[in-house]
Amino acid sequence: MKGQKQAAVPETPGTDQGKPATQGPGELRGAGTISGLQWLGLIAAIAALAVPMVLNVAPAFIAPQQAPAVRLPAWQRTPEQLSASRGVEPLDPSAPLPLPAKLAAQLDAALMPDGGGNFTAVVQDALSGDVLYERDGGRNRVPASNMKLLTAVAALRSIGPETRFSTQVLAGAKPGTVVLRGGGDVLLSAGRSAPEEVMGRAGLQTLAVETVEALSEQGVTGPVSVQLDDSLFTGKPLNPAWSLEDVDAGETAPLFPLAMNGGRDAPSTKGGPRPEDAAIDAARTFTTKLKSAGAAAGISVRTAVVRATAPADAEVLAAVDSATVRQQVDLMLETSDNYLAEVLGRMASHASGGPASNDGATAAVRTQLGQLGIDTASMRLSDVSGLSLANQVTARQFAEVVRAITSGPDTRLRAALAGFPVAGLTGTLDDRYIDASTASGAGLVRAKTGTLNSVLALSGYVVDADGRLLVFSFIGNGLTPGAAGNKVALDRAASALASCGCR
């Protein structure tokens, strides 16, 4: 166990370890001389008695004493082996509900701000929808990245969990031209397609090779010119509601319907400036790959890339497909990817017949939530990633969204469950729930985080100690920036739900 030291074997009092004994073999002090046969027999007798004594007594010296383990419910125990794949077993609807008064006593003590500001909160029973705890749950708040939960719902409902986005190369209007058309995949890689990956499932090198094969079959030798069609997205590529400091820090970037590495220079890049024109970067990378593949096939390719719109009836020469929307939603939630969230919002609008713009994305989110029966009248939506301080959503609305994902009638939303970060293990919760006050929630709480300068949020779900599935949303606004106790307050509250047998 981490941090646990093995107890040292104590020295026997009155002995000098490592020094030779004063008695010779065959002698016992005060017992006279013993024959060889007697000596061997005595040794055998002592050994026969000593071995079981050592086996019984030694563990008390070489292993630390531990208090008897508390018997945990089956669903909170570490599994001894992998279970057979039977799907998720339903929870027991007869499991007791937490008593609101006892739940309130724990949450009121946990949700205390470190410095300024305050928290709003809602806890609901997922099965019945009963509100078990509420603190200003209908009050509008800046939700930060909890907005991505709303975007996930809109994308899964509008586009569909198993849909993929296609990046295509089409025959241009003029002979000798090909058009690279973006279809919403911003997780392209520069290399070969990697079908087992989410980031990089579609690769520009694979697309270039397939394009060369198609051109060779048509007898094209070149020179070939590459055009870029990124007309799918409309409106401003950079939301004016975003802080330019956030843009400079790499929190997001101008949006296009095709990009490599989620709009970053490399998949491993975490912060810092991003490409200002991710689409043209992708097109230039494709052109380089096309030129290299074409050289081996006797096809020459010009280096320059220009923007153009593909003909409506253009022949598709080659295409590579993205990871599914289900996989992209999970990646977006787990890593809290702002760029991917905004792209999924635009694609949700496009799938519903609306414009693939910022206004289209926010409208798509509102429409899809309304169709789920969630009251959106009080919502104010400025973006769909949560970077904007102009967003206004209530804790009650978030709790209802989480309940729709976990327990609602639209089973397409279950696809988002895998994307919720797991406390102490994955995503944006991997480095939390590690101290004594929150450790009871580690591995059990699953929740989307939200962080801005004076905003913290946590919305998710947990099965409590009695087997009841609870959904929750905690949102802090006006908090003292950088105060360490505020994240702990959120995590302590969620941990209280996990360990609650509040009957």
- Whether 174 is catalytic: no
The string of pLDDT tens digits covering residues 315-341 is 999 999 999 999 999 999 999 999 999
Mean pLDDT of all residues in 291-312: 96
Dist CA 501 CA 503 (whole Å): 6
Q: Identify the band that residue 29 occupies on the pLDDT scale cut at 50, 70 and 90.
A: very low
Q: What is the dihedral of CA 215, 218, 222, 225, to 10 degrees?
A: -50
pLDDT of res. 90: 72
pLDDT of res. 436: 92
Q: 424 versus 48: which is more confidently predicted?
A: 424
Mean pLDDT of all residues in 34-43: 44
- Whether 145 is catalytic: yes
Distance of CA 353 to the CA centre of its chain: 29
Residue 203 has φ and ψ, to the nearest 5°, of -120, 140
CA of 484: how far to CAs of 250, 426, 451, 479, in Å?
24, 20, 13, 11
pLDDT of res. 503: 80
Q: Quick one: which H or E segment has residue 132?
A: strand 131-135
In the block, which residue shows the tokens 């929870």?
Answer: 91
CA 110, 116, 122 angle in degrees (round to 5)? 40
Q: Is pLDDT of 414 > 70?
A: yes
In the block, which residue shows the tokens 């975490």?
Answer: 270
The string of pLDDT tens digits covering residues 193-236 is 999 999 999 999 999 999 999 999 999 998 999 999 999 999 99
pLDDT of res. 107: 97
Q: 454 versus 30: which is more confidently predicted?
A: 454
* Contact yes or no for 187/340 (Cβ under 8 A): yes
Q: Identify the band that residue 4 occupies on the pLDDT scale cut at 50, 70 and 90.
A: very low
Residue 49: count other Cβ atoms within 10 Å of its Cβ: 10
Q: Is pLDDT of 38 > 80?
A: no
Among candidates 411, 415, 472, 414, which has minimal Cα distance to 441? 472
* Contact yes or no for 324/161 (Cβ under 8 A): yes
Q: What is the mean pLDDT of the chain?
A: 87
Per-residue DSSP letters for 319-347? Answer: EEE---HHHHHHHHHHHT-HHHHHHHHHH
Q: Identify the band that residue 268 occupies on the pLDDT scale cut at 50, 70 and 90.
A: confident
Catalytic residue chosen out of the listed positions 158, 189, 336, 440: 336
pLDDT of res. 77: 67
Longest dimension (CA), the chain: 116
Catalytic residue chosen out of the listed positions 148, 291, 448, 487: 148
Dist CA 457 CA 98 (whole Å): 23
In the block, which residue shows the tokens 């946990």?
Answer: 110
Taking the alpha carbons of 121, 125, 130, 133 in that order, is the dihedral positive or negative? Answer: negative
CA 179, 180, 182 angle in degrees (round to 5)? 130
Distance of CA 266 to the CA centre of its chain: 19
The string of pLDDT tens digits covering residues 356-391 is 999 999 999 999 999 999 999 999 999 999 999 999
Domains of the chain, first to last: 100-160+329-499 (3.40.710.10), 166-240+256-267+279-322 (3.50.80.20)
Mean pLDDT of all residues in 446-452: 98
Share of the chain above pLDDT 90, in %: 79
Q: Both tokens of residue 155?
A: 């994308």
Q: Both tokens of residue 285?
A: 């990378």
* Contact yes or no for 404/461 (Cβ under 8 A): no
Bridge-based pairing state of the strands 301-307 and 224-229:
parallel
Q: Which amino acid is at 320?
A: V
Q: Both tokens of residue 125?
A: 């029973």
Q: Quick one: which H or E segment has residue 495?
A: helix 485-499
- Whether 352 is catalytic: no
Q: Is pLDDT of 465 > 60?
A: yes
